[in-house]
Amino acid sequence: MQKKRKFNLRTVPLYVIFAAAVVFFVIKLVNIQITGTDRYVKTMSLTHEREVTVQSLRGEIYDRNGVCLVKNEYSESLMLDHASLPAAVDEKNEVLARLIGVLRDCGQEITTLMPVRGTYPHIEYDEEALKNVTAKNRLARFLLYHNIRSDVGCLELYEQLLEDFALTDDRGEHIYDTETEDQLIRLRYTLDATDFADDNPYRLLSDIDLITETAVLENGCKGVYVKKEYKRVICVPGVGSNIIGRTGKIPADRVDEFLSRGYPYDAVVGLDGAEAAFEDILRGEDGITVFVEDSYGNVVDSYVKKEPVPGKNVYLTIDIGLQAEAERLLGEQVKKIAAQGRASGIPDNGEKADSGALTVMSSKTGQVLALASYPTYDLSTFSEDYPDLASDPAKPLFDRCLSGTYQPGSTFKLATAVAALMSRKITPDTEIYDSWRYEYYKDYQPTCWRSGGHGLLNLTDAIGASCNYYFYEIGRLTGIETMNKYCTMLGLGEYTGIELPENKGILAGPEYKQSINKVWVPGDTLQAAIGQSDNSFNPLQLSSYISTIVNGGNRYKATVLYKVCNYSGSEEEINGPQILNTAELNEMTIDAVKRGMRRSKELTSTTKYYNYPIGTKTGTAQTSKTNNNAVLVAFAPYNDPEITLSCVIENGASGVNAAAPVLKTISYYFGLDENGNPLPAQNEEN
Ligand SMILES: [Zn+2]
């Protein structure tokens, strides 16, 4: 049973503290700037109000057992505020130079974006930095804005800016020392290049320390304020990254969309994964603090116009322990297959295995318990790792569980069996003689994979032996239309309903063939019946399809949303199971498929040793003339199935190679040893 999360003293008052902190610093600024100096005349006659957004807290993310996955951590940034900087260019330089000096004394270097290396006059463009498209475009835009020709040399640009930014006097003499001048140019370049404006403050420094903060405040630096905000912290680094996702600034191509939804320009939003999928739940409502300023830009008063409202916490259906284990086991197996393939010296024997997917879902609810994609990445070091991740040929950023689509191979034969049984073309006892070559058609005669054929088989034997001949025959008897009717009910080639982006793949058939201007021929039906032709599905679809069969026909909407709680953890809304459709199945059909999968488990070299009652089916899907993907689907336990799993290993040579991580994941879930036996009873504590 889930424990209700207790009222959490840690989280509730944070935004209150935050609001109080803003007021505290405003008061400090007022003290310094008004009482601390007599340079300004205390005139109150000309005040104006300035609204500052108070960032609300984003909801946190937990796993199904309440393990924290993403939390909020506080930080303070030093912001440069356009409205409180003097408009006159020389005064502005003076204010910025003072600020630069104070920060330099604190050992802080401000963040600037000018792609120039070296110190004047020994400077050159930073070609490495300009390889970045954003940096390149920023420079181009800046030059256009300043009416400087696009092919300007670095030194010439610098000298032009000395003039434009009024950093030299009438006689052309430099006003500031070289270091300050250099920083001023870089800063002013950055401000212009990032559209610095009243509604777009610039972040000079992130995560500032108390010494810097105090120095800035006590030296009466104008034009800056300390922004208290929080950042997202990944609690279990490197696990479930493909599910959790990232937050960040609004992407340039989605600014209009977010602005129309009431977001401020500098909002932090969910970019992918659960952070994006549950944006509307996680997002809080920002508050507004009003600063009253006199005609010199000094803050003389402030008040809260709107309190921020924190977002809600999201509990995912994922079990982070299971997820970690699935990721570990999948990675281990991929490496093992590659090593064994290399050691065998036989070409195309798994040595190219480098990636895969493993999914675990609840057969009874559609809740997704784990989505392991290998290779993967670590959200907590994403920015630093990004260049390597983006250029890695194994594509670690690609979520193979949902975006990857794979030929199901023989794991599809279960769907063919369902269609043939439900349309009464066969019964579970129907026997067919496999003589190796299927000779029904004169012009197309595919063969069984086993040379010499399997001889006489019933359905259980045929699933167990994965006999192609049997499925050519029952596929032909059933026909592609009826096969597809049942495949669609089982969710093959359909969206699983999961809240994350997925590729729904392709269900082979005349309809798809027509869409690519080709004609479906009878031979295609034979190929489709054994999971080939155009069939291609994402790994979660495979789990969902097996769930739908073994749970009696309910195709549950796949989901990663377990429940939603208030930020304080008090109220909760459970996301109950939803049925997308009910597949026409009867007991006879369900039993026949399950028996076939049990037989398959018993006959397969890599699953037969496992003692826990389960059903499995392997698939070996040809991806090119030489490479095969390893595919396996499974459910457990045999009676009253609770979980369904799928595993795909790219270039894994043979379906049998996908078994180990699936069996070990089942063992982890049910608390068994690696052979599927109960663990020795634990001694009671004390
Ligand atoms: Zn056969």
Q: How much is the pLDDT for 45? A: 58
Q: Are residues 300 and 387 in the same domain?
A: no
Tokens of 171: 């006689």
3-state SS record for 380-434: HHHHHHHHHHHHCCCCCCCCCCCCCCECCHHHHHHHHHHHHHHCCCCCCCCCEEE
Looking at this protein, which amino acid is placed at residue 621?
Answer: A
Q: Are residues 126 and 218 in the same domain?
A: no
CA of 589 to the centre of ligand 1 (A): 21
CATH of the domain at 651: 3.40.710.10
Tokens of 565: 């709680």
- More confident: 24 or 354: 354
In a domain, 677, yes or no: no
Q: Are residues 309 and 325 in the same domain?
A: no
In a domain, 684, yes or no: no
CA of 457 to the centre of ligand 1 (A): 8
CA of 79 to the centre of ligand 1 (A): 72
For residue 401, pLDDT over 50 is answered with: yes
pLDDT-based confidence at residue 681 (cuts at 50, 70, 90) = confident
The pLDDT tens digits for 493-519 are: 999 999 999 999 999 999 999 999 999
CA of 424 to the centre of ligand 1 (A): 22
Select, from the ranges 14-28, 192-206, 295-309, 322-336, the one with the highest average predicted confidence (pLDDT).
322-336
CA of 486 to the centre of ligand 1 (A): 24
Calculate what percentage of the chain has a pLDDT beyond 90. 72
Q: What is the mean pLDDT of residues 294-301?
A: 79
Q: Which residues have C-beta within 8 Å of that of residue 572, sequence separation ≥ 6? A: 4, 5, 563, 564, 565, 566
The pLDDT tens digits for 197-214 are: 988 889 999 888 888 888
Q: What is the mean pLDDT of residues 446-460?
A: 97
Please say which residue of 285, 316, 347 terminates a domain: 316
CA of 525 to the centre of ligand 1 (A): 17
CATH of the domain at 76: 3.90.1310.10
Q: How much is the pLDDT for 19? A: 46
CA gap 143, 136 in Å, rounded: 11
Q: How much is the pLDDT for 522? A: 96
Q: Are residues 396 and 409 in the same domain?
A: yes
In a domain, 675, yes or no: no
Q: How much is the pLDDT for 84? A: 85
CA of 422 to the centre of ligand 1 (A): 22
CA of 438 to the centre of ligand 1 (A): 10
CA of 225 to the centre of ligand 1 (A): 76
CA of 467 to the centre of ligand 1 (A): 4
Q: Are residues 438 and 476 in the same domain?
A: yes
CA of 529 to the centre of ligand 1 (A): 14
CA of 469 to the centre of ligand 1 (A): 5
For residue 682, pLDDT over 70 is answered with: no
| Beta pairing partners, 433 | 456
pLDDT-based confidence at residue 657 (cuts at 50, 70, 90) = very high
CA of 454 to the centre of ligand 1 (A): 4
CA of 600 to the centre of ligand 1 (A): 14
CA of 615 to the centre of ligand 1 (A): 20
CA of 452 to the centre of ligand 1 (A): 8
For residue 21, pLDDT over 90 is answered with: no
CA of 487 to the centre of ligand 1 (A): 23
CA gap 460, 465 in Å, rounded: 9
Q: How much is the pLDDT for 602? A: 98
CA of 166 to the centre of ligand 1 (A): 85
CA of 470 to the centre of ligand 1 (A): 6
Mean predicted lDDT score pLDDT of the chain:
90
CA of 634 to the centre of ligand 1 (A): 22
For residue 683, pLDDT over 70 is answered with: no
CA of 453 to the centre of ligand 1 (A): 5
For residue 38, pLDDT over 50 is answered with: no
pLDDT-based confidence at residue 310 (cuts at 50, 70, 90) = very high
Q: Give the predicted TM-score (pTM) of the model.
A: 0.79
Q: How much is the pLDDT for 31? A: 40
CA of 617 to the centre of ligand 1 (A): 15
| Helix and strand element counts for the chain (H, E) | 22, 23
Please say which residue of 158, 176, 193 terminates a domain: 193
CA of 479 to the centre of ligand 1 (A): 20
In a domain, 535, yes or no: yes
Burial level of 498, CB count in 10 A (0-12/13-18/19+)? buried
CA of 419 to the centre of ligand 1 (A): 19
CA of 653 to the centre of ligand 1 (A): 20
3-state helix, strand, coil in the chain (%, to 5): 35, 20, 40
pLDDT-based confidence at residue 684 (cuts at 50, 70, 90) = low
In a domain, 678, yes or no: no
Q: How much is the pLDDT for 37? A: 40
The pLDDT tens digits for 455-499 are: 999 999 999 999 999 999 999 999 999 999 999 999 999 999 999
Q: How much is the pLDDT for 481? A: 98
Q: Nearest 5°: CA angle at 27, between 10 and 197?
A: 90
Q: Are residues 68 and 166 in the same domain?
A: no
Q: Which residues have C-beta within 8 Å of that of residue 643, sequence separation ≥ 6? A: 360, 361, 362, 363, 369, 635, 636, 666, 669
For residue 26, pLDDT over 90 is answered with: no
The pLDDT tens digits for 189-198 are: 999 988 899 8
CA gap 362, 463 in Å, rounded: 24
CA of 583 to the centre of ligand 1 (A): 29
Tokens of 199: 């509604």
CA of 441 to the centre of ligand 1 (A): 17
Q: Which residues have C-beta within 8 Å of that of residue 2, sequence separation ≥ 6? A: 64, 65, 66
Neighbours of 51 (CB within 10 A): 12
CA of 447 to the centre of ligand 1 (A): 8
Q: What is the mean pLDDT of residues 414-421?
A: 98
Q: Are residues 387 and 433 in the same domain?
A: yes
Residue with tokens 């689509």: 405
CA of 451 to the centre of ligand 1 (A): 8
Q: Are residues 454 and 544 in the same domain?
A: yes
* Count of the separate structural domains present in the chain: 3
Calculate what percentage of the chain has a pLDDT beyond 70. 93
For residue 20, pLDDT over 80 is answered with: no
In a domain, 4, yes or no: no
CA of 274 to the centre of ligand 1 (A): 45
CA of 507 to the centre of ligand 1 (A): 24
Q: Are residues 430 and 522 in the same domain?
A: yes
pLDDT-based confidence at residue 624 (cuts at 50, 70, 90) = confident
Neighbours of 465 (CB within 10 A): 21
In a domain, 683, yes or no: no
CA of 609 to the centre of ligand 1 (A): 24
- More confident: 25 or 539: 539
CA gap 350, 348 in Å, rounded: 6
Q: Are residues 146 and 72 in the same domain?
A: no
Q: How much is the pLDDT for 226? A: 85
Domain that holds residue 78: 14-113+194-316
CA of 338 to the centre of ligand 1 (A): 29
Q: Are residues 276 and 382 in the same domain?
A: no
pLDDT-based confidence at residue 135 (cuts at 50, 70, 90) = confident
- More confident: 624 or 431: 431
CA gap 365, 653 in Å, rounded: 33
In a domain, 48, yes or no: yes
The pLDDT tens digits for 40-82 are: 444 445 888 888 878 789 999 999 999 999 999 988 889 999 9
Q: Are residues 453 and 579 in the same domain?
A: yes
